[in-house]
Structure 1
């Protein structure tokens, strides 16, 4: 069974690795292949490929069709939508986030458009009183977009997340005609109960920053957790605590198992009919199901419930609870029930943690007390999961073992029991619920304070380059060797296999060469120039609701490259689409020099002016300011212009330089010729007269922002840029644009369009 579970997993992963899904007609062979996989007389060398192929065909059959998303012809159009609110509404930065399970979608011309899935809507003018509730039926007029996201190395794959969540379109609610409630809550009974719990938390603990943590740990709602709190969890390696998974559900099931078994054993009449162990297992299964329903039955919760259910059924059948066969059965059940599960990091973390527990538990009962064994086990799990943390998150939280040793038992034994008891009591009386939720809030504040203290030192978490998977393939047996039972020969040698994972560093440009990366940051600009030993950031992207491109785009890219310092930060001019992410970058990484057009107009501590004529050289690469001229007035005409030149090529970086500034740039006598041109205004306006002739670029880069409300880039603007005989590349369509410029002129530069290089079947193209 264990080998079959791994074969099934390989078949499932083969589908998720595809850039495009094959025709579903192949699924007609599934019954025959499955029959071969289950045929006991077939040699196992033939059965295993049949199991893997069964997993592939089953996954292909069960996956939602990416073609059911909003048709490209309707992208950006206004629709009249009818449907039910399918999830708890979330408040996020002056807007209400809704998920509408559509029953009807009509375009502006009244054409009925099939949208088989959920539509995620942002309502900026939602009423403060009597807002929408889960289960209610509503009519909205909304402008819809395809469910796309930014495409950058190291960045969060939002399109994968939306696809796995069944979201087929995103949009914003229009105020006219006004939204209308068509019917009250007649469905989603469990979600309505969860809404009551959420309201109770807000009613009884309205001003407590720990309330968001309680909501995450009880009803699975993470939307109110602050950016600072997420950063604390990230630096301490405790982010997993905020996602209800096997840990919390197993806790509730375990407590119920122990309590029911103890009581059942003291009732001879009942114990004679049903063994106390089986009664406890049945109670554990029912309690886990109840908690999973309250938590929203999201993907991690369903996965955890399946794992607990398999364990409970093993006890009911008289089998061993902690065994690799039980884990294999749980893996098979998860993959058959939810083929999308491997797309979630939680899938790997939860199964990896359970497998590690089984490995550590085998033959380790050395006479220690339960407390000592639990502490030793928790410490070993924290150490054993560090390789997966590095590969999945590109970070080595050095305080993680200590933080988890404190946080896991604290959350499981104090916060969760008090919070769940308080919410259940709120159904009867706020008077009963108040003290319990007060205790839950107090324990939450104490935990947050302790984690803040651990996360504060600079050495608490070390940014590491996102390593390739082969380093993990070496590290896993190395960790198993290191954590082997006492007496195993040379256990410390296992650490040698972990060295490639810990010491990995992506190749940096050679001296004289550089890497130019125009990141997909929406309707804004964020460009990274990397030499052999230095990094320059040319603008930091826009604000993005309650967050910014610095946090969502720039920092993940720098982290994926293992860059721990920005040697120069250029803020080309005072515009939110260019400087919106600067604060996040400066808060996360040490920043050397800061350049602005006018330090008086753009105050930044230690900032210098980007005045034409200034230059410096890093690693045989020349950086030269071409604009603004000394003493020029304020405005966009003062926007910084930088030329980067190496032996193998050059790039001219222009931000929002208006017509007057362009004329002065062209008349200034500067050497503008460059191989790559970063277009002014991100390419949303036609090129200034004479610019293309003066530069003569072989590559033109735009950054208009996919799905922007202005409709950029306009066809006439694209035609004007293409008049130079070069087809422009736009991060809106190509994702991040990465150009590796060699150290000599004999080698051609290497251009990578990230959406093309990292193509996946769920991506919007």
Structure 2
């Protein structure tokens, strides 16, 4: 079963990496391959039961170790067909997992909002699903549709909606409440950026096939009755618990962590707490994790068994009817299910629940399963229920952590000391030794046992840290170096003190619950002080770029090699496989070239310019006032790309879709210099200064060179800023330097023209005319970041004729309310046969400018002897759910 479930998981993971779902040819290949694998497996594994029985018989004659050794030799080499049989089992299981996930995906994607109904008002009737989240802007919630006033054959079952609090606050929204709402929807769409996790995959995993907002709050009406079902009952219970905690702790700084530990809802955890826990590698303790569920299940099992064994105190003989061990195991599994329900059945909670359930069922049936078999069953059950669990970090971190613990502890024997074998209660020993000597010996044994447990716990902690380090780099681009120390204190502190206090606050009635909840918060205060202490120095957090597949595979091999049992050959060489991960190659282009990446930040602008040894960020996208793109997209992209320091941050003007993300960038990334066209009173000036950045107003005539690439500012003029922000936005030109090259077959040298990119912020037609009047030649560029997102107030024909771009990049939000780009302006670019890219349909776009002569490759275009390579995120990183 282990091979079957692990192969099934590989098949599911493989499907989630596909650019498209299999067609009829793919299905035919899958069926034929799977059927052939089943035939080979049956042939290769025939007779195993009989052979196994023969070896079991010989065990009594030759001893268990000899039998185990002969069985292992038989498995490895005595019959070649067996190797083929087990290989076929893996192949058949992979095909089954791939096919199962594909069928589930086809069924889920079949229910989608038609494009024709995007942006239209639709009346829907349904109920609130799950726990709504609230902030100062309103409420966000899932809505389960019962009926929709739209002639759509398969209307989405689950919607993700926002109730925007403009004139009046959002009403109280409780799980299971039924409402009639007028909503405006769009198809599920997420920002697509290199190295940043895909939000569309998360929406698909939650079965959200349309997102939108309540377009007519005044006409919303609460309907009588409530939705029914166990899920609704659990959600209402969770909502009531959250309300109790909010009432007791009010504005306490760690209230969000208490809520997360009680019901698994993490939306109220403060940004400061998240930052501290990420820096120390303790983020896993915020949720109801498998560790917490295992601890609570063990406590419940002990309590149930203790009560059952003492039933004689009340005149009952329950243990004679049903063994206390069965009651204990069953009670622990039942309480694990209850606790997992509180967590909302997240992936780590599911993993712990299924492991507890499999162990309980095996014990009741009289079976003794290997721990790896229990983990394999949990893996298969999680993916059977939710094939999209593999797109979440919790899946990988949870299962890999448990697998690392089991593997690290395998093959290590616990040897009992001679002193432990002696029976200290012997009358001879009792008379032969003094009482003091007996106490000293007992104390020594306790100290030795404690040291053994401490050594084992340390070994497990190091194993988990080593095993999860590559995954932490892949998901979060960091390795907390103080992780083992922080977790060594935080795990027992949270598991043995904080979690029981939170559970006591949940279980006890008012007003006693307040004492337990306040005690839990006090314990979290102490934990926070310790984590602040150990995470103070900058070296405690090691930032690394996101690894590619080969680097990650090499690091995983090193983990397996390093954690192997004692006696594994050349274990000292295992860290060598980590060198590509820990010492990555510089990501910059070669000298004399530059790379431009236009990020997909929705309706806004953010462009990264890289040379061989320098980086410049032009604008930062929207901030908290809109989509949090600076914190949610720009900072993760920079960290995944290995950018820990910006030589220059340019904030083109004060509009929030260009400057809103700047505080998040300044907080997370070191900035040497900020150049901006902002009013003197703008808070970003002081914010940049506080973070150690030099500040400089943006002004025409500024020039500098990095690594053979020239940067020149064309607008605005020096002096006080005039007019609205769009009129004084920074205009930056980035160009390669002219070079003398020898043409093949020609004895003389010729000068190669500059290859340039022009970043124009939100300038409009009047500014374009001023720039044209000054110097048309200075505007010529092969790559153009389109002015003002393609607004009808910009991109005039003379301006485009002077630039003569080969590539034009539109940074626009999906179905944005400004209707950018304007249809007429977009046609103006198309008529000039310019290569066009749009962030709403293409995601992030990367342009590599190589000034040297090279052979033109796919996706590249030649300009004046240079090669411009254009890469669209949704082409190279495409997944089957995109645009479906």
Instruction: Report the TM-score when normalising by structure 2.
Output: 0.81
In structure 2, what is the equivalent of residue 41 of structure 1?
42
Shifted more, 545-554 versus 353-362: the winner is 545-554
* Residue from 792, 808, 811 that aligns with 1:700: 808
Query: Paired residue for 1:316, among 337, 341, 364?
Result: 364
Moved more, 188-197 or 237-246: 237-246
Name the CA distance, whole Å, in 2 between partners of 1:135 and 1:185: 5
Q: State the Cα distance separating 1:359 from its structure 2 match.
A: 1.5
Query: Structure 1 residues 457 and 67 mapped into 2: Cα distance closer, same or farther (>3 Å)?
Result: farther
The partner residue of 1:119 within 154, 159, 163 is 159
Which shows bigger deviation, 208-217 or 712-721?
712-721
- Alignment pair present for 1:233 and 2:277: yes
RMSD: 2.6
Counterpart check, 1:642 vs 2:690? no
* Residue of 824, 827, 836 corresponding to 1:728: 836
The answer to whether the 8 Å contact 1:92/1:223 transfers is no
Corresponding residue for residue 216 of structure 2: 175
* Partner-residue secondary structure (3-state), 1:21: coil
Deviation, structure 1 residue 275 = 3.3
Alignment-derived partner of residue 431 in structure 2: none
Q: Is the 8 A contact 2:351 2:399 kept in 1?
A: no
Cα distance in structure 1, aligned partners of 2:535 and 2:188: 35
Q: Deviations over 1:54-91 (max 9, x none)?
A: 11112222234224222111112211111011111111
**2:443 alignment counterpart:** none
What pairs up with 1:214-293 in 2 under 5 angstroms?
214-265=258-309, 269-293=317-341
Q: Is 2:242 the partner of 1:162?
A: no
1:169 offset after TM fit, Å?
A: 1.0
| Closer/same/farther in 2, CA of residues 545 and 165 from structure 1, 3 Å limit | farther
Contact 1:637 1:657 in 2 (8 A): yes
Paired residue secondary structure (2:257): helix
Segment drifting more, 433-442 vs 183-192: 183-192
**C-alpha contact (below 8 Å) 2:765/2:795 kept by paired residues:** no
Q: Where does residue 138 of structure 1 map in the other structure?
A: 179
Partner of 2:472: helix, strand, or coil?
A: helix
CA gap of 1:360–1:631, structure 2 versus 1, over 3 A, is: closer
Q: Which moved more, 1:626-635 or 1:570-579?
A: 626-635
Question: Paired residue for 2:763?
Answer: 657
Distance 2:818 2:257 in 1: 38
Matched, 1:441 2:521: yes
Whether 2:718 is the aligned partner of 1:630: answer yes
Change (3 A) 1:32 1:83: farther
The reply on whether 1:345 has 2:431 as its aligned counterpart is no
> What is the CA–CA distance in structure 2 between the aligned matches of 1:553 and 1:129, rounded to whole Å?
28
Of 250, 268, 276, which residue of structure 2 is paired with 1:206? 250
Aligned length: 759
Find the aligned partners of 2:401 and 2:654 in 1 and give their Cα distance: 48
Task: Find out whether 1:681 has 2:788 as its counterpart.
Answer: yes
Cα deviation per residue 1:590-641 (whole Å; 9 max; x = unaligned)?
Answer: 1012112356364623321222222111000000111123346423322111
> Corresponding residue for 1:10?
10
Whether contact under 8 Å (1:526, 1:539) holds in the other structure is yes
Alpha-carbon distance in structure 1 between the residues aligned to 2:369 and 2:135: 42
Q: Does 1:752 align with 2:871?
A: yes
- Contact between 1:216 and 1:244, CA under 8 Å: does it hold in 2? yes
1:522 is paired with a residue whose SS is: coil
**Partner of 2:68 in structure 1?**
none
Q: Secondary structure at the match of 1:365?
A: coil
CA distance change for structure 1 residues 626 and 32 in 2, over 3 Å: closer, same or farther?
closer
Contact 1:27 1:61 in 2 (8 A): no
- Deviation at residue 524 of structure 1 after TM alignment: 0.8
Deviations 1:175-197 (A, max 9, x none): 35521001233421111111111
Q: Tell me if the contact between 2:144 and 2:157 (Cα under 8 Å) persists in the aligned partners.
A: yes
Greater shift, 353-362 or 293-302, is seen at 293-302
Partner of 2:850: 742
Task: Mark the runs of 5 or more structure 2 residues left unpaired by the alignment.
Answer: 45-84, 417-448, 738-753, 855-865
Counterpart-to-counterpart distance in 2, 1:377 and 1:594: 46
Deviations 1:675-730 (A, max 9, x none): 00111112223413411111110011111211212222232221123333325321
Greater CA drift, 46-55 or 464-473:
46-55
- In the TM superposition, residue 514 of structure 1 has moved relative to its aligned partner by 0.7
TM-fit CA distance, 1:457: 2.6
After alignment, is 200-209 or 337-346 more displaced? Answer: 337-346
CA distance in 2: counterparts of 1:621 and 1:553, whole angstroms: 27
More helix by share: 2
For the 8 Å contact 1:505–1:561, the answer to whether it is kept is no
Structure 1 distance, partners of 2:39, 2:308, is 40
Aligned twin of 2:20: 20
Q: Are 2:490 and 1:407 equivalent residues in the alignment?
A: yes
Task: Say if 2:774 is the partner of 1:668.
Answer: yes
The answer to which of 257-266 and 669-678 deviates more is 257-266
Query: Aligned match of 1:607 in 689, 695, 701?
Result: 695
The equivalent of 2:48 in structure 1 is none
> Which residue matches 1:571?
651
How much does 1:764 deviate?
2.9
The Cα of 1:301 is off from its aligned counterpart by 3.1
Q: Which moved more, 1:559-568 or 1:661-670?
A: 661-670
- Contact 2:348/2:398 (<8 A) preserved: no
Instruction: After superposing the two structures, state which structure 1 stretch, 95-104 or 452-461, moved more.
Output: 452-461
The question of 1:99 aligning with 2:142 is answered yes
Identify the range of structure 1 (496-505 vs 631-640) with the bigger mean alpha-carbon deviation. Answer: 631-640
Whole-angstrom CA distance in 2 between matches of 1:472 and 1:155 = 16
User: Partners of 1:260 and 1:100 in 2: how far apart?
Assistant: 39
Cα drift, residue 581 of structure 1:
0.6
Q: 1:357 to 1:277 in 2, by over 3 A?
A: farther
Is the CA contact (8 Å cut-off) linking 1:142 and 1:173 kept in structure 2?
Answer: yes
Deviations 1:285-337 (A, max 9, x none): 10011112222234443343223222322333344465222222222222323
Instruction: Give, in whole Å, the separation in 1 of the partners of 2:33 and 2:671.
Output: 61
CA contact (8 A) 1:37 1:51 kept: no
Change (3 A) 1:38 1:231: farther
Q: Distance in 1 between matches of 2:631 and 2:473?
A: 19
How do 1:518-557 and structure 2 match up within 5 A? 518-545=598-625, 548-557=628-637
Change (3 A) 1:694 1:186: closer
Output the CA distance in 2 between the equivalents of 1:396 and 1:480: 18
Tell me which residue corresponds to 2:677: 597
Which residue in 2 is equivalent to 1:70?
Answer: 113
Q: Deviations over 1:381-412 (max 9, x none)?
A: 22332122112222111111112112222111
- In 1, distance between residues paired with 2:220 and 2:305? 53
Partner of 1:99: helix, strand, or coil? strand
Whether the 8 Å contact between 1:599 and 1:608 is mirrored in structure 2 is no
Give, in angstroms, the shift of residue 129 of structure 1: 8.8
**Counterparts in 2 of 1:626 and 1:364: CA distance versus 1, 3 Å:** farther
Could you tell me whether the CA contact under 8 Å between 2:605 and 2:811 is conserved in 1? yes
Alignment correspondent of 1:497: 577
